[in-house]
Amino acid sequence: MSCTTILIGKNASYDGSTIVARNDDSGSGRYDPKRFVAVRPEDQPRHYVSELSHMTKDLPDDPCLYSIVPNALPGRGILAEAGASVRNVAMSATETIAVNERVLGADPMVAFKPAQGEPGTPEYRAEQPGGIGEEDFITLVLPYVHTAREGVERLGALLERYGTYEANGIAISDVDEIWYVETIGGHHWIARRVPDDCYAAIPNQLGLDDFDLEDALGDQREFMCSADMREFIESNHLDVSMDADPHHLNPRRLFGTRSAKDHIYNTPRAWYMQRYLNPSDDWDSPSARYTPISDDIPWCRRPESKIGIEDVDFLMSSHFEGTPYDPYGTEGTEETRRRYRPIGINRNGQLVALQIRPYVSETNRSVMWISYGSNPFTSLAPFYANVSQTPAYLNNTTAEVTTDSFYWTNRIIAALADPHYVANSNHIEHYRENVLSYGHRLIARTDEAVDSAEADAQVNNIARSEEPGEVFGDLELANQAMADYLKAQTQDLLSKVLYTSSNLMRNAFAMSDR
């Protein structure tokens, strides 16, 4: 179970954008290299075959252009992970979650079953395809929808038709709304719209703690779900509330888990994100309302200050700074510093913050802030999503370890800096400051140029494209400029970290002959 997600409503963000951010973390002992690629309509499959589950599906013939950050190595399917389309819809998939045994008994996962025996013999059993999962969601949904709400509807229909083999949370956003979908068993699902003035902090745990079933089965203003959700809950005795409310459910209690492992792996991450964004609350005293092992930390809250990209970068890189639980810190004891699973860990593969901005033209509205590798040692950098090609520094990732790749360079930096974190922390802090500030400047300059060109085109009544903003030149040039700067800064950081860590090697000796 890996990954951490934060969702930021448009009135809770610093500039009125919707922001969806997620760390894509690999399982223990595995590291998944990442790429940044654009998928043109002609490259989108028309007949889809899932590599993991062998599910097959014919897809519509009208996909749009979209950009994703998938796994770089073969063997586990596309695993698009995070993406934004030319229609300014974004999607992050997935946040691995867990449902309880009662749910799994009522609606088992749809697992792939390989063929058994030899064809033509009585013992032969043909393979049974499984459902859809993290490998498939973005590819099957994102290029076909025009709004986040439409994305939820399409994803829900796919889950009901094909089922799933795993429990996941999926975020889908547009310029106005963010929706969060949680799969419930093999074929059921629920979804909630993030309140505009709130953020949602989500570790690997079923998170929704309030659900209006009447709205979900009626007007669907803020909630959606499987059409048979009421019957599913009632016939399988899933509502364990002592004071049952027919209108409002607590999905976390009905469908989720509450275990000792959650208190090590999940709840501390939600606690730390809310501690940072609502600092005036009591988080640390013996009488604190919420602690790192609280099972009732709210799914969403209104922040005390509006949330910026820098806050996202810090939180998704964080390791419990300022608490006794920081593995790089000096507070607490050796035991407390290793007690909980941090957000920024060695197994971070990529972080993408999907920002959809209301104050610029549709051409350049969607920005993907991207970093690769272990987040405490890198920085988010912005790249426009509406492009037909992406910079080599971010898309050329292979199995070869090379400093020509952003992913591998960060992995090298992290491994060198980790044993000497304090000694290297200033280098990393300056790197992050340089990359983020350059990124903001570059986006502002590019926005001005593109928006001016869009305005001129409208004045002259020039039709630029059938889709919103399929105009690649300025955006691709900006992305390349960002990649060039990022590469120079990352190479410089590698040089500094290598020098600093070399001087701190255990076989160092001060005396020399010159």
Q: Would you say 354 and 368 are in contact if contact means Cβ atoms under 8 Å apart?
A: yes
Which position has the token pair 């990529």? 350
Integer angstrom CA distances of residue 61 from 44, 58, 64, 312, 318? 9, 9, 10, 37, 43
Both tokens of residue 39? Answer: 């998928």
Rg of the Cα atoms in the chain: 23
Q: Would you say 385 and 142 are in contact if contact means Cβ atoms under 8 Å apart?
A: no
Closest CA to 451 of 341, 380, 347, 359: 359
Q: Quick one: pLDDT at residue 421?
A: 97
Residue 252 lies in a domain: yes
Query: CATH no. for residue 195?
Result: 3.60.60.10
Which position has the token pair 């976390």? 252
Sign of CA dihedral 295, 299, 302, 308: positive
Q: Quick one: pLDDT at residue 216?
A: 97
91-131 tens-digit pLDDT: 999 999 999 999 999 999 999 999 999 999 999 999 999 99
Both tokens of residue 33? Answer: 């290299």
User: How many other C-beta atoms lie within 10 A of the C-beta of residue 142?
Assistant: 29
Number of domains in the chain: 1
Residue 72 lies in a domain: yes
Q: Quick one: pLDDT at residue 241?
A: 86
d(CA 190, CA 208): 9
3-state helix/strand/coil string of 41-76: HHHCCCEEECCCCCCEEECCCCCCCEEECCECCCCC
Q: Between the CA atoms of 433, 439, 442 and 446, what dihedral angle is there, to the nearest 10 degrees? A: -160
d(CA 385, CA 36): 10
d(CA 102, CA 234): 12
Both tokens of residue 20? Answer: 């969806």
Run of H or E including 198: none
Residue 293 lies in a domain: yes
Both tokens of residue 134? Answer: 């993290």
Q: Quick one: pLDDT at residue 464?
A: 43
DSSP single-letter state for residue 336: G
d(CA 155, CA 146): 13
Catalytic residue chosen out of the listed positions 3, 64, 198, 300: 3
Point out which residues pair with 407 in neighbouring strands: none
Q: Would you say 105 and 94 are in contact if contact means Cβ atoms under 8 Å apart?
A: no
Point out which residues pair with 56 in neighbouring strands: 49
Residue 447 lies in a domain: no
- Pairing outcome for strands 348-356 and 366-372: antiparallel
Residue 487 lies in a domain: no
Residue 3 annotated among the catalytic residues of the structure: yes
Residue 502 lies in a domain: no
Enclosing domain of residue 87: 2-424
Residue 455 lies in a domain: no
d(CA 382, CA 359): 17
Q: Quick one: pLDDT at residue 465?
A: 45
Which positions ≥6 away from 274 have C-beta within 8 Å? 201, 281, 283, 290, 297, 298, 301
Residue 401 Rama label (left phi>0; alpha psi -120 to 50; beta)? beta
Q: Would you say 223 and 215 are in contact if contact means Cβ atoms under 8 Å apart?
A: yes
Q: Output the pTM of the full model.
A: 0.95
Sign of CA dihedral 267, 268, 274, 278: positive
d(CA 163, CA 166): 9
Q: Would you say 283 and 226 are in contact if contact means Cβ atoms under 8 Å apart?
A: no
Note the helical H segments in 225-374. 229-235, 251-255, 260-265, 267-277, 309-317
Which positions ≥6 away from 106 have C-beta within 8 Å? 185, 232, 235, 236, 238
d(CA 60, CA 83): 19
Chunked mean pLDDT (size 10), the chain, 514 residues: 92 98 93 96 97 97 98 93 98 96 98 94 94 97 98 98 98 98 98 98 96 97 98 95 81 94 96 98 97 97 98 98 97 97 96 98 97 98 97 97 97 98 98 98 96 69 46 86 98 98 94 81
Residue 511 lies in a domain: no
